[in-house]
Amino acid sequence: MKAFITGITGQDGSYLTELLLEKGYTVHGLVRRPENLPYGNLAAFVADESIYNERLFLHIGSFEDATHLRRLIVRAQPDEFYHLAAQSSPRVSLELPETTVESVGMATVRLLEILRDLDHPPKFLYASSSEIFGSPPHSPQDEGTPVIPSTPYGAAKAFSMQMARIYRSAYGLQTCSAILYNHESVRRSGGFVTMKIARAAARIKAGLQQRLELGSLEGRRDWGWAQDYVHGMWLMLQQEAVDDFILATGRLHSVQDVVRVAFEAVDLNWQDYVDHDAALVTAVEPTSLCGNPGKAQRILGWRNTVPFEEIIRRMVRHEAGKIPA
């Protein structure tokens, strides 16, 4: 089996690469900055001569160059295609709506058009987001919940998801979308609030940082373990007839819960170190984004296996381990 992954160097892309290589796949990935490969999430594979350029092939490219992208995909001839790459911040999307729509929405359409022209199109998975629901009328959300995004990011994700459905019904492509709720790991980038908190707790304990500034602590999210979600995406493409699924835990926790668990992990009282910064409060804040994973549990046999508290503790331990003794 051969797979093609966009966003291969990110949290999800790197875990998916590991999973697929373990299962005997040949993996192709699209990268923008090859100079970062020796230091990033794929560093171990890039350094392994038995894998890199043998079973793992990384191609320089961008979604703006559709001709080059077409050439790469035609040469790779993948059986499965995982489209994970995009601008990933709802907050940033409010400042850069045009860039967000281009990188999230139009990039997906370009990919689908390329796949439509292939003699043997691969199964295609789009990594959608709970942000498509905005402030939903009920909680938890399921696959039938109305799509009413409240940010350009959510709107662009919804557009891409609907286009994937159209290509499935109109052109007969095996396309589907994973509606992903927040999922974390030690590979989360520092731009996400969970890693910002975990890193700060570790640094404050080590005396390298004095304070942590956050926006609202009241925001609540459905947080799961990233490797489980990657496994769910793979399970989706193993179905004879692909379909859309929500991947979530069905449990809500607040930002304050993240802070409390992170600081408890290093034996500190969070209230002694955390300050409120009104400038960090998002103008449009989705509420009650809690997913119902029932369909994925029933059809795919999928589960989130790592509890919320353990996820945060793992992130803090990992960040603490990076600090020189």
CA proximity to 244, closest of 293, 288, 184, 290: 293
What confidence tens digit (pLDDT) does each residue in 185-244 have?
999 998 899 999 999 999 999 999 999 999 889 889 999 999 999 999 999 999 999 999
Rounded Cα distance, 146 and 150, in Å:
12
Place of tokens 């304070």: 211
- CA dist 74 and 68 (Å) reads 10
The angle that helices 107-116 and 66-76 make with each other, rounded to 10 degrees, is 50
How many whole angstroms separate alpha carbon 113 and alpha carbon 73?
A: 12
CA distance 154 to 29: 25
Nearest in space to 150 (alpha carbons), one of 287, 290, 280, 286 = 286
What would the two tokens of residue 49 be?
A: 């001569």
**CA distance linking residue 21 with residue 44, whole number of Å:** 13
The answer to whether 254 touches 218, Cβ cutoff 8 Å, is yes
Residue from 118, 238, 121, 135 nearest 178 by CA: 238
Residue ranges of the chain with pLDDT lower than 50? Answer: none
Counting beta carbons within 10 angstroms of the beta carbon of residue 90, is it exposed (0 to 12), middle (13 to 18) or buried (19 or more)?
buried
Torsion of CA 288, 289, 290, 295, to 10 degrees: 140
Q: What pLDDT shows up at residue 161? A: 97
Length of the chain: 325
Residues with a known catalytic role: 129, 131, 153
pLDDT at 282 (0 to 100): 66
pLDDT at position 100, please? 85
Helix axis angle, 308-321 to 193-205, nearest 10°? 50
Phi and psi at 102, nearest 5°, equal -65, -50
Return all residues near 147 (Cβ < 8 A) that are at least 6 apart: 132, 133, 158, 161, 162
The pLDDT score that the predictor gives to residue 87 is 64
Query: Is residue 91 helix, strand or coil?
Result: helix
